[in-house]
A and B are shown apart, each in its own frame.
Chain A
Amino acid sequence: EEQLVQSGAEVKKPGESLKISCKGSGYSFSTYWIGWVRHMPGKGPEWMGIIYPGDSDTKYSPSFQGQVTISADKSKNTVYLQWSSLKTSDTAMYYCARHRAIFAVVSIDLWGQGTPVTVSS
């Protein structure tokens, strides 16, 4: 079964660092782009960026460039999202998401279960 399994819920204080993970299984992990999507309550999802685990080529949304770091360890079939200094505004659900292209149209065909991140003093 193809799946993405994310690390568990996190509760942090402002200014702390954090790294969450997403492990893929059941498919050729290194050959699909994996991205991260932020979802805040009552809002539409926000695409943060993607990485190609095969060579770690990474693209960021301008809104998240410099705010987070996306990385991958293809030997572990795992992609990461990290913050060096969290803000209360980072409180959200974070999904990892496999991207694939059909007729050049990219869509997200596989999602992780989500990692809730709470940042509060």
Chain B
Amino acid sequence: DIQMTQSPSSLSASVGDRVTITCRTSQSISNYLNWYQQKPGKAPRLLISVASSLQSGVPSRFSGSGSGTDFTLTISSLQPEDFATYYCQQSYSTPWTFGQGTKVEIK
């Protein structure tokens, strides 16, 4: 199985901050990488697919980059509704695997 390592596991930030979350894979996955947002008590929501393709309806302050083994999710200006847990997921080979999550909390 491809291992996914996210960092940090949690972070505290203020509204308006720029936030960067990193996802590293145990082997190269090209751009077969997705990012999800999950709020408490809710199902995850797809934010970005193919490493950098923003989903319809997702605010442009979210962006993704990377290929191979190193990927980043950036929130350019954190908003109150962005406090949540974020997961990366690879779909290069089955079983498709997720990172352990990065919880973004209010400072």
Contacts and interface: CB of A to CB of B under 8 A. Distances in A.
Given A43-B100, A44-B100, A107 B95 contact: no
Given A44-B100, A105-B49, A113-B43, 7 more contacts: A45-B44, A47-B94, A61-B94, A62-B95, A63-B95, A107-B34, A111-B45
Interface string B33-66: 1101000000111100110010100000000000
B46 A109 contact: yes
A33 B4 CA distance: 23
Interface residues of A, number: 22
Interface string A35-67: 000000001111100000000000101110000
Interface string A96-118: 00000011111111011110000
B71 interface: no
Interface of A: 43-47, 59, 61-63, 95, 102-109, 111-114
Contacts of A63: 95
B100 A105 contact: no
Report, as a range, how many residues of chain B touch the other chain: 20 to 34
Which 4 residue pairs spanning A and B have beta carbons closest together? A61-B95, A111-B43, A106-B91, A107-B49
A76 B55 CA distance: 29
Contacts, number: 63
* A43, A47, A109: most-surrounded residue (chain B CB, <10 A): A47
A45 B53 contact: no
A62 B97 CA distance: 12
A106 B95 CA distance: 12
A63 B53 CA distance: 30
Interface in B52-86: 53, 55
A111 B4 CA distance: 21
B95 A47 contact: yes
Nearest to B91: A106
Nearest to A65: B95
A3 to B, nearest CB: 11
Given A95-B43, A111-B43, A105 B99 contact: no
